[in-house]
Amino acid sequence: MEIITGYTGKKHITAEMDRDVNIGIVGGDSYVLVTGSQLEAEVSSNNEIKIKDGVVMHQGCAGSIKKNTYDSITISNGSQGMKRIDLLVLRYERNQDTNIELLTLKVLQGTPAESSPTIPQYTVGDIQSGDSVSDMPLYEIELDGINVTEVRKVFKICMTNADLSDSIGRLSANAIVEEGKNSNGYYRKWNNGTLEMWGSQSITRATVNQSSGGVYHSDNYTLSLPYTSLTNVSGVSLNFRSNAGVWATQSTGGDLKKTLGYWVFGGANTTVSGSLNFRCTGTWK
């Protein structure tokens, strides 16, 4: 074991050590960090693209364009009647004689084509394994004739720990913590306290014989919910399934925490049987 963040009386910290620490924190892939302008591309002309300030982490190797500055990238002239895609990469290079390492922006020029130009190949290297060249693609630059028509971002953004914590908090709020069923139906508990309930209740020979405004309705029936809500349920949906042309609506019955009240309606004085499907929302905490 060797200390990294500590004084030993001699030079002992290497770039490989720092890269390994960064890989352990950020990951072993290549990212642009959430700081500065995040290497935003600005097309100045058909021959120049400005890459604004930001910080990259290329396989643990950190590099930056100084804040409130930019690097200017030159694009070779396009050809009339031809299309082309260039690839802007961040290139890591290590001189194999001196072991001096560099990060530079480099344009890989594509091959002109009348249609469907291809993206240039780039070097996929492994810095920590000792490869002397490793490219991180940043932008695909599309030319139509002599004009730059599109600059497409192809790099990944690494979220900050604060952003990750917020995202996890939102996911946790929307997480299902328990699901269950019983003879009264099904329920689902969400971490934010929402309680979903649904199910089906068989109705046998319900008498629809009380006239009201040209239609008939039944007595006030109640159904038991599969889980007791802490608050009155809402968003109640009732669907009566039978062959008798009848329907159901919520009534004033039930305590709205353990039970729901409902009436069965029809266009004639009749006795019906069928299945009542229900769905509602309450709270469990």
Q: What CATH code is carried by the domain that includes residue 126?
A: 2.60.520.10
Are residue 118 and residue 199 in the same domain, yes or no? no
The CATH number of the domain holding residue 218 is 2.60.40.3940
Task: Please state the pTM of the whole predicted model.
Answer: 0.66
Query: Residue holding tokens 């990750």?
Result: 164
Q: For residue 133, tell me if it sits in a domain.
A: yes
Per-residue pLDDT of 38-56, as tens digits, reads 999 999 999 999 999 999 9
For residue 144, pLDDT beyond 70: yes
Mean pLDDT of 258-282: 80
Q: For residue 200, tell me if it sits in a domain.
A: yes
Pick the more confident residue, 207 or 112. 112
Q: For residue 165, tell me if it sits in a domain.
A: no
Q: Write the CB contacts of 14 (distance below 8 Å, at least 6 apart in sequence).
A: none
pLDDT of the residue at 28: 94
Domain endpoint, select from 160, 189, 208: 160
Are residue 83 and residue 144 in the same domain, yes or no? yes
C-alpha–C-alpha distance, residues 33 and 54, integer Å = 7
Are residue 36 and residue 82 in the same domain, yes or no? yes
pLDDT of the residue at 267: 63
Pick the more confident residue, 51 or 213. 51
Are residue 226 and residue 141 in the same domain, yes or no? no
C-alpha–C-alpha distance, residues 59 and 32, integer Å = 11
Q: Is residue 63 within 8 Å of 31, Cβ to Cβ? A: no
Q: For residue 215, tell me if it sits in a domain.
A: yes
Give the number of C-alpha atoms closer than 13 A to the C-alpha of residue 256, restricted to the C-beta side: 11
Q: For residue 8, tell me if it sits in a domain.
A: no
Are residue 137 and residue 226 in the same domain, yes or no? no
Q: For residue 100, tell me if it sits in a domain.
A: yes
Q: For residue 5, tell me if it sits in a domain.
A: no
For residue 269, pLDDT beyond 70: no
Q: Comparing 59-73, 142-156, 175-189, 232-246, which segment has the lowest mean pLDDT?
A: 232-246
Are residue 139 and residue 193 in the same domain, yes or no? no
> Tokens standing for 75?
């694009």
- The boundaries of the domain holding residue 268 are 173-283
